[in-house]
Structure 1
Amino acid sequence: MNSKNELIEERLPKHLAIIMDGNGRWAKEKGKLRVFGHEHGVKTVRLITEKCAEIGIKYLTLYAFSTENWKRPKIEVETLMRLLVSSLKRELPLLHKNDIKLNAIGNIESLPARALKELNEVIAKTAENKTMTLTLALSYGAREEIKNAVQCISAKVKNNIISLESIDETIINNHLYTRNLPDVDLLIRTSGEHRISNFLLWQIAYAELYFIDVFWPDFSEQHLLEAIKNYQHRERRFGKTSEQLN
């Protein structure tokens, strides 16, 4: 498929989010350790990130590591953190080449010191890039995000910084990790699982959901284009009727 010919430029999702699921099961099917799947999943991240920038996606958010993932076996967590550090170092030229700005959301202060240092350095070095913003959700959990926002807003009400009556969606948005990002238009989950797994619960209120029975290491450019093409043929009503939209 030729992305330029098959996709409708004015109907591209502005913000695409992906739950990159299935690395471990992909490796298990091949008789390998789960870490083998994560290593190959990094290659898919590179491929899909470049393709999104080429297509014209403005915001790409990848669910890289959840708050619940800390409960996984120690060796798997250590491998994921090692891959994070090595990938950030290696992919900096690719980010510059494609004019991609790196961003991160989540409780990133909980990351190992070396991983946090590399992350902050790459974020700083790509801060002026403008074609696409790539956001990594790291040590991220939507419920924790919302809880933190509620606590912060409550403290401001208590200290008379904002009034209770003034609290609206804008104020809530401004206290989330994603305060500088638009709402998600399209959410893709790989591996065949049909759940959200505590990812961007507030931000996907009106997102289109697309589930595909392909493990993340096997997710290709073609799969991406098919998901976007499917999205472009959906009617997004945001609570209105078809007649009102027309």
Structure 2
Amino acid sequence: MFKPRSRRTLCNVTRGLVCALMLTEVGTPANAVTAMRAADMAPSNVAQSARYPVVGDDPVVVRDRVVNQHAHAEPPSFGNRVLRLVHLPVGDERSHHDSTESGLADDFTFVVPVRYGIRYQADKHRLTVNVDLSGDEDPADILIKRTVSGLSGRKLVVAPEARAKGFIQQVDVIELESGKSKKTTVRGSVTLSPAAYAETEGEYAIAITGHMVPPYFSDQIDHRDPTDDEPTDITTRTSRLYVDISAIWLISAQRSVVLSKTLHLSK
């Protein structure tokens, strides 16, 4: 079990701080500790017996706070006013922002649910992790959130009717780029008893902790007109956060238990 080095409360977003992963010991809800860097953690490949409720940072809040601060720092152009209203950058250019001004020097943690790539060998009491976190938009980046709003016109209308009948979608994608290596697959293993494995109920998540590095942040907008194959007007926003990953954990999403602190990225 981790021993807290200092007491902290969750950061206030309005103060310009990004909340880090908070691990709260059961029975002492006031005793919250910030997630430690991987170098500060005692190596372990055995599932933890204590329960740690895991609260990750909201990637939309992290992304939008940087964009909105950048917009406020510039003259109030028409494009910036639109950005504040719809939270979408104007144009298809990519923009970069300074991490110090945006308050992104602190560590943050994103929690990504996983459904595939977890294998348990009951005879060896071994849980093996081989999870690809890349997305369809960019297989070289780690997908941490993808949201689709709006209706699809597939099998309902033909391309010329899509806009008129309201088949318009906005796709919001947030990704992590972890360096030039382009590693997106999380691998590792943990010793887990059959009873502990049963308690997970097959629900797992990957917690990724790190801090931003140059060029810190970029945005891109792509628009696709309706076609006969996909009669939907689709606008996709892809936001990329450039990070130095310091820790990757496997979590039992059902029980909020840290199963392994020794996962790593590979191609």
TM-score interval, normalised by the smaller of the two chains: under 0.3
Q: Where is the strand percentage greater, Structure 1 or Structure 2?
A: 2
TM-score, normalised with respect to structure 2: 0.23
Higher relative contact order at CA 8 Å, sep ≥6: structure 1 or structure 2?
Answer: 1
TM-score, normalised with respect to structure 1: 0.25
Higher radius of gyration, 1 or 2: 2
